[in-house]
Structure 1
Amino acid sequence: MTDDLDRELIGLLRADSRKPAATLAKALGVSRGTVQNRIERLVRDGTIQGFTIKTRPDASNRVRAVMTIAIEGERSGAVVRSLRGFPEVSAVHTTNGRWDLVAEIDVETLNAFSAALDRIRQIEGIASTETSILLATQKL
């Protein structure tokens, strides 16, 4: 089970998985050993399934989508913290209007996409969601 420190660590690694453990430790306010142990545990338990590079959106055949999320009551902070633990979620945005959050999802396959949706929808505090797969990116 991931905690707030794990989620923050995952977020830092998502932004740059090549950051040295000492740099991550300083950003998190913990020891380098704590960071190394956390990373090892997250890899061992499958939370972190690999370290990768980012490419242009049109340079791969990945499944990318946006999920709009309505939150029950005042639970947005808890929902955002939970979403940080999902490697499939590349970004979360707060918004106004009908939807409280927009989550960007990036996975390798439709099966992984379906599994991620099922797991995200089970987060306590999510009232409803609507998801759209991004089919093509237009260069502006």
Structure 2
Amino acid sequence: MSKFDPLDQAIITYLNRDARIPSARIARDLGVAERTVNNRIKRLVETKVIQLIAVVNPASFGYTIAVEIYCELEVGHQDQAIEAIGNMPEVSYIALSTGDQDISLQAFFKDSEEMHAFISQKLHHVPGMRRTRTILIPQIIKDNYQWIPPDQAFERAEGVS
């Protein structure tokens, strides 16, 4: 695990608020060299600590139905199912889960007919799919893309640049 200091924390906080903010502005506000900020950002991206991406609002494109789907698989089909589901454009994330469900996924749809077709015609034909449980998400309260680790995750290092 990499070590992070308060400068990393400050840079991440700036980028989390606005990923388009110029490095020069961050450097000026933090009182460090622009090259230092650029090097830190480069390291954070290369080590996959952060991603500088555009996050799409599905509702802007008419995808107003969000669902969580929990899938139970037959033994030995996990890899096949993950590959098949991961290639479905409706799916925004897929994760392994614990308990009586093997996979958790989130998907977006324009209407209930599209959602039903996805579940009955696509998802239920995935190799090894035993059953699914779908939960409609009426409102997303907190978007995980805005998450930042708590202060204690950043070391108090002196003279680090």
TM class by shorter-chain length?
A: 0.5 to 0.7
Give 1:73 shift: 0.6
* 1:58–1:137 contact (8 Å) kept in structure 2: no
Corresponding position of 2:98 = 96
Paired residue for 1:134, among 126, 133, 137? 137
Paired residue for 2:109, among 98, 107, 110? 107
Corresponding position of 2:123 = 120
Corresponding position of 1:63 = 65
Deviations 1:85-133 (A, max 9, x none): 2111111010111101001111111111111111111112011110011
- Relative to 1, partners in 2 of residues 1:56 and 1:108: Cα closer, same or farther, differing over 3 Å? closer
Q: How many residues align?
A: 88
The percent of aligned pairs where both chains have the same amino acid is 14
CA–CA distance in 2 between the matches of 1:135 and 1:125?
29
CA–CA distance in 1 between the matches of 2:107 and 2:141?
18
The unaligned stretches of length 5 or more in structure 1 are 1-52
The letter of the residue matching 1:137 is: I
CA–CA distance in 2 between the matches of 1:121 and 1:56?
24
Larger Rg: 2
The answer to whether residue 87 in structure 2 is matched with residue 85 in structure 1 is yes
Runs of 4+ in 1 over 3 A off after TM superposition: 56-61
Tell which has more relative contact order, 1 or 2 (C-alpha 8 A, sep 6+): 2
Give 1:61 shift: 5.9
1:23-34 equivalences in 2 (<5 Å): none
Deviations 1:66-95 (A, max 9, x none): 000011011110000000221111110101
Give 1:56 shift: 7.2
The letter of the residue matching 1:134 is: I
CA–CA distance in 1 between the matches of 2:91 and 2:61?
19
The unaligned stretches of length 5 or more in structure 2 are 1-54, 144-161
